[in-house]
Chain A
């Protein structure tokens, strides 16, 4: 049998196996190292702090857990969030992330490694990314073989689509959720393959962990039933499917209800009904199978078939009826907006206002997944070619996740694992084909030319036979394949000739892998490793200039205000104020009460006279806004202002109207041509208060909006400027108390500035209305 290149012949199978497992272990160490170290850019370039907004709450909750214990955390009522209302944290949080860090923290302390809880939180995501790589390896191994598994692990270790949510310091639920997603799917596939209750139970236990960790568990709750349903419809029902699905559902559903935030949702809401329906259908199908084993009448089988179909329809109708009668809650807005993509923008502006909830553009697919995105369809196609039960799962997962990732940017995260798996299958098939040293035998040209039809059938049969021969021993690894190739003498009529073709393709493939690594490292270091708490800019000489206004202002609040001071800001900054400034906030990133947020939006977008009673009624002491006009920080509150207006308009449509904030031409401007409502709004006044003084005689210029502002800035009567950070990014205003003489603050201010007292109206009538 011809070989393209010589192979050593005197190797014992044991040597080959041992070498293969040694290589696997080494590869795993390297993959884990790459996964962890590529996530450390932010820690090394800046410092070991928590990034973004949401992680600050997780961090604060974890600190409570680490210092006061689990039961305190479980029953924690936080009076400092949502100020007049407070927040029952134990019942409104997914506790998996905090519990995980708490366990690691206590474990390290038990080993006499006194690590700060902050460092545990910062480094949790890189640590779990290594575990994700391992789980992806196990998952892909079930689909193809170990070599594809290693490729998938290497892909997911460094792919930017996953790194973006798991850099060091990004202490968010997704940090552990993707690991739990992959491990749950692995156990599900394993349970389905073996029909084992043990693996079904393990899948349920990890499903429980996933439910405790991330709201995205609904994805698993719908993926597994969808897979089971597809298998039933394809006529692939087996007792293995019954054992795997039933044990997963029965244990997993009960387990998921233990999380207080989830509660009775698994039996009450539409998102969970698919799982219940498939569970019911499986019982019926299994019973029908049992009966069919005992009765052989053709007529009876037909009857059973109709009975199954009928039962399915009746169950579906019952579900629809229950939903309409209101016993089962319909889809929540967040979930529903995935189907009707225009829904959120029309009805729930607070969902549409989050930048992560926008549709994904094409370049971000290429940026996050590089060459994986175009070999991903090939991998899915190869799953079709094999199409065992587990390949159906990958195909469904790929379709569903692709759709969701197209609808919403943040769901790119759930697409990334399946892209890595499918690409690894495609890529390792390519490598298998071109590394395989077996050369095809030359077809007998003369014979086939002479007697065309019989030769064609003969060669067809031969190729089919040889295919069968090849697949019969089922080579587990590429190395087993090599060994098999040296020993067996099966002949192939299809294959690759010569060493040069092999080398061309393999060099190209390895080149793609190398560029992938370079791309991933570049994207990670440039795009995804900047803590939003500190802003970095580069000076002309290439040195780094750090803008640290956020922490400057938050620490000012922490050290210079009374401990029970109430700070009002837009909800984006609620968690950071609570975490860094340690002060009471009105609204925060957990947007559970829309009206309360709309109240803040109304205060920000109305005139001082209207806003002041709102502020006083809510005991607000300080108002904090973000202003980027001086240094060109575009994510400031003036740019978010329209969302405040829209959210307030949703609750008070006759007091706040969005068109009033535009110029007559329909432009959103802040210069002289800005509308009067805009100029008189509290947000405008607070942002540009004393701004013109920075420029002296020069024109006053807003560097974000690129507009020239009027020479005379706005005046404030009801607020005092308390603090403005170095670059004016954070501005804090103190709410004045009522005037001691009972005048309204505008009059009092005018009097203090020596303006002429107008006698047109008695002062007592113009007192600010305080109820």
Chain B
């Protein structure tokens, strides 16, 4: 399952990066970019909370939880549509995975907007 092409490079991080760039399909890369954006957004919100204020604590929690929640939902979608995980998700087609993702996101954001106050 693990594709390898990269034992000749020196640094493990570089080998990881190369292997990732070579062996990941465009769709998954798109999802990964999305995930990176969530991490960035979450880190910024957290820094603001720590450095400036956490005053409307519910607003911070709502914003932070929406990024975290959306991150994990997207990560779950990524693992479900990843062809390498076909064995783990026998009953979930990629289309079904996307519908689940959409439903989970809607429910999540319903609670987020309710909690923003």
Which residues of A approach B to under 8 Å, CB–CB? 194-198, 200-201, 204-205, 238-240, 242-243, 246-247, 249-251, 253-255, 257-258, 264, 267, 283, 286, 291-297, 300, 303
- A575 to chain B minimum Cβ distance, whole angstroms, is 31
Residues of A within 8 A of B4 (CB): 295-296
Q: A295 with B88: in contact, given A242-B75, A251-B108 (CB under 8 Å)?
A: no
Does the CB pair A251–B69 fall under 8 Å? yes
Cα–Cα, bound, A297→B62 (Å)? 41
Given A240-B88, A250-B68, A296-B7, output 11 extra A-B contacts at Cβ < 8 Å.
A198-B99, A198-B100, A200-B76, A201-B103, A204-B107, A239-B79, A240-B89, A253-B65, A291-B16, A295-B15, A297-B12
- A175 to chain B minimum Cβ distance, whole angstroms, is 26
Cα–Cα, bound, A286→B72 (Å)? 11
Residues of A within 8 A of B112 (CB): 254
Residues of B within 8 A of A267 (CB): 61
Interface: B34 (CB within 8 A):
no
Residues of A within 8 A of B84 (CB): 293
Closest to A204 in B: B107
Residues of B within 8 A of A297 (CB): 7, 12
Residues of A within 8 A of B103 (CB): 197-198, 201
Interface: B2 (CB within 8 A):
yes
Does the CB pair A258–B16 fall under 8 Å? no
The one of B12, B73, B91, B111 in contact with A255, judged by C-beta atoms closer than 8 angstroms, is B111
Residues of B within 8 A of A303 (CB): 12
The one of A200, A238, A240, A283 in contact with B104, judged by C-beta atoms closer than 8 angstroms, is A200
Q: A194 with B92: in contact, given A250-B72, A257-B61, A258-B111 (CB under 8 Å)?
A: yes
Does the CB pair B16–A239 fall under 8 Å? no
- A80 to chain B minimum Cβ distance, whole angstroms, is 30
Does the CB pair A195–B88 fall under 8 Å? yes
Cα–Cα, bound, A611→B101 (Å)? 64
Which residues of B1-60 are within 8 A (CB) of A?
1-4, 6-7, 12, 15-16, 19-20, 23, 57-58
Does the CB pair A239–B80 fall under 8 Å? yes
**Majority DSSP secondary structure for residues of A touching B:** helix
Does the CB pair A295–B12 fall under 8 Å? yes
Residues of A within 8 A of B12 (CB): 295, 297, 300, 303
Residues of A within 8 A of B115 (CB): 254, 257-258
Q: When A and B form their complex, which 10 residue pairs have the shortest distance between CB atoms, in order from nearest?
A: A250-B69, A246-B72, A243-B76, A197-B100, A239-B79, A294-B19, A198-B100, A254-B65, A201-B104, A296-B4
Does the CB pair A295–B104 fall under 8 Å? no
Does the CB pair A247–B72 fall under 8 Å? yes
- B39 to chain A minimum Cβ distance, whole angstroms, is 11
Does the CB pair A239–B89 fall under 8 Å? yes
Interchain residue pairs with CB less than 8 A apart (10): A197-B76, A197-B101, A246-B76, A247-B104, A249-B72, A250-B68, A254-B62, A293-B1, A295-B4, A303-B12
- B78 to chain A minimum Cβ distance, whole angstroms, is 9
Residues of A within 8 A of B97 (CB): 197
Closest to A208 in B: B111
Which residues of B approach A to under 8 Å, CB–CB? 1-4, 6-7, 12, 15-16, 19-20, 23, 57-58, 61-62, 65-66, 68-69, 72-73, 75-77, 79-80, 82, 84-85, 88-89, 91-92, 97, 99-101, 103-104, 107-108, 111-112, 114-115
Does the CB pair A293–B101 fall under 8 Å? no
Residues of A within 8 A of B88 (CB): 195, 238-240
Does the CB pair A195–B92 fall under 8 Å? yes
Does the CB pair A197–B104 fall under 8 Å? yes
- A498 to chain B minimum Cβ distance, whole angstroms, is 42
Residues of A within 8 A of B114 (CB): 258
- B8 to chain A minimum Cβ distance, whole angstroms, is 12
Does the CB pair A293–B104 fall under 8 Å? no
Residues of B within 8 A of A300 (CB): 12
Residues of A within 8 A of B100 (CB): 196-198, 201
Residues of B within 8 A of A294 (CB): 2-3, 16, 19-20, 23
Closest to A194 in B: B91
Cα–Cα, bound, A282→B66 (Å)? 18
Cα–Cα, bound, A198→B107 (Å)? 10
Residues of B within 8 A of A283 (CB): 72
Residues of B within 8 A of A247 (CB): 72-73, 76, 104
Cα–Cα, bound, A204→B111 (Å)? 11
Cα–Cα, bound, A251→B66 (Å)? 9
Residues of A within 8 A of B65 (CB): 250, 253-254
Residues of A within 8 A of B19 (CB): 294-295
Cα–Cα, bound, A623→B23 (Å)? 80
- B1 to chain A minimum Cβ distance, whole angstroms, is 7
- A288 to chain B minimum Cβ distance, whole angstroms, is 12
Cα–Cα, bound, A196→B103 (Å)? 11
Cα–Cα, bound, A250→B73 (Å)? 8
Does the CB pair B77–A242 fall under 8 Å? no
Residues of B within 8 A of A205 (CB): 107
Closest to B97 in A: A197
Cα–Cα, bound, A303→B11 (Å)? 14
Residues of B within 8 A of A242 (CB): 75-76, 79
Residues of B within 8 A of A204 (CB): 107
Residues of A within 8 A of B1 (CB): 293
Residues of A within 8 A of B91 (CB): 194, 196
Q: A246 with B73: in contact, given A197-B104, A201-B103, A251-B107 (CB under 8 Å)?
A: yes
Does the CB pair A292–B7 fall under 8 Å? no
- B7 to chain A minimum Cβ distance, whole angstroms, is 7
Cα–Cα, bound, A254→B72 (Å)? 14
Cα–Cα, bound, A621→B30 (Å)? 73
